[in-house]
Amino acid sequence: MAKTDILIAGVGGQGTILTGRIIAALAMAEGLDVKTAETHGMAQRGGSVITHVRIGEKVYSPLIPQGDGDFLLSFEKLEALRWLPYLSPGGTVIVNTQELEPLPVLTGQIEYSTGILEEIESKAARLIAADALSIEPVTRNARMVNTFLLGILAQTMEFEKEKWLLTMEQTIKAKLVDINKQAFEAGWEFAREDG
């Protein structure tokens, strides 16, 4: 498998680290080298967070250099725009179109950006945008956004679907495995229909 660099962007507390762990565990099980880099500490308190996942025959740096990302998986719309410079010109953006307003927007100092999806579409090779919160089972549990987006990513990657599901069983808490699998399947189907 060729080198694959995946950026997972979001807001502290949205679960970017867990998503990175699932991808990394699967890549390792498939016999590949893999490294991740995560955001812990202060930024986790509602700040902008990023997880880097790098897969290949041999991975040196845990950080994806600017302009090298193959995928940008964003749990929030504004964060997709913020991290877009890390994507390669041929890369794919997968974004949950949910808007989480940063504090300066909530307090009315500045406005949430408009035209984000249009800008991403004009600059990235491919954009898959989904309103995850409107899709079953994310409608029932908003924390399933991450595995829904993972399903979209998985559909565009080479690993077999069964391997993804097996890795999720091994990585996610037992009582949450079923709903996470449903969210993954929903994402997988969404990507197939998106083509």
Partner 1 sequence: MNDKRVIMTGNEAIALGAYEGGVTVGTAYPGTPSTEILENLARYEGVDCNWSPNEKTALEVAIGASMEGARVLAAMKHVGVNVAADPLLTLSYTGVGGGLVLVSADDPGMHSSQNEQDNRHYARFAKIPLLEPSDSEEARDYVTAALEISEKFDTPVMLRTTTRISHSRSTLVPGQRKEHEVKGFKKNPAKYVMLPGFARLRHPLVEERLLALQEEAEKSPMNRIERGSTKFGVVCSGVAYNYAREALPEASFLKLGFSHPLPEKLVREFAELVDEIIVIEELDPFFEEQLLAMHLKVPVKGKELFGLLGELGAEIIREKVLGQKIDPIRVRDEIPGRPPVMCPGCSHRGVFYTLKKLKLNVMGDIGCYTLGALPPLEAIDSCVCMGASIGLALGMAKAKPASAENTVAVIGDSTFLHSGITPLLDAVYNNAPITVLILDNSTTAMTGHQEHPGTGTTLQGEPSASVNLEGLCHALGVKRVAAIDAFDLKELRSTIKTELEAGEPSVVIIRRPCVFLLSTFDAPPAVDLEACTGCGTCIKLGCPALSMKEEKARINSTICTSCGLCEQLCRFDAIKSVLEKAGENNG
118: contact with partner 1 by CB under 8 A: no
Helix, strand, coil % in the chain, rounded to nearest 5: 45, 20, 30
d(CA 66, CA 63) in angstroms, rounded, equals: 9
137: contact with partner 1 by CB under 8 A: no
Interface region with partner 1, contact rule CB under 8 A, candidates 118-126, 146-154, 156-164, 173-181: 118-126
- Choice between 145 and 190, CB closer to partner 1: 145
d(CA 117, CA 81) in angstroms, rounded, equals: 8
d(CA 115, CA 103) in angstroms, rounded, equals: 20
Closest separation in Å from C-beta 131 to partner 1: 16
- Choice between 38 and 194, CB closer to partner 1: 38
d(CA 88, CA 3) in angstroms, rounded, equals: 13
Q: Which residues of 152-177 are buried (b: 16+ CB within 10 A; e: fewer)?
A: bbbbbbebeeeebbebbeebbeeeeb
Closest separation in Å from C-beta 158 to partner 1: 17
2: contact with partner 1 by CB under 8 A: no
Residue type, 46: G
Using DSSP, state whether 110 is helix, strand or coil: coil
Closest separation in Å from C-beta 193 to partner 1: 27
Using DSSP, state whether 113 is helix, strand or coil: coil
- Choice between 70 and 188, CB closer to partner 1: 70
44: contact with partner 1 by CB under 8 A: yes
123: contact with partner 1 by CB under 8 A: yes
Q: Record the tokens describing residue 40, joined without a space.
A: 């812990």
Interface region with partner 1, contact rule CB under 8 A, candidates 109-117, 157-165, 175-183, 186-194: 109-117
Interface region with partner 1, contact rule CB under 8 A, candidates 36-44, 144-152, 160-168, 180-188: 36-44
Residue 26 burial (10 A CB sphere; 0-12, 13-18, 19+): buried
Contacts to partner 1 by CB under 8 A = 11-12, 20-21, 24-25, 28, 31-48, 59-63, 65-68, 78-79, 81-82, 84-87, 89, 101-113, 119, 123-124, 142
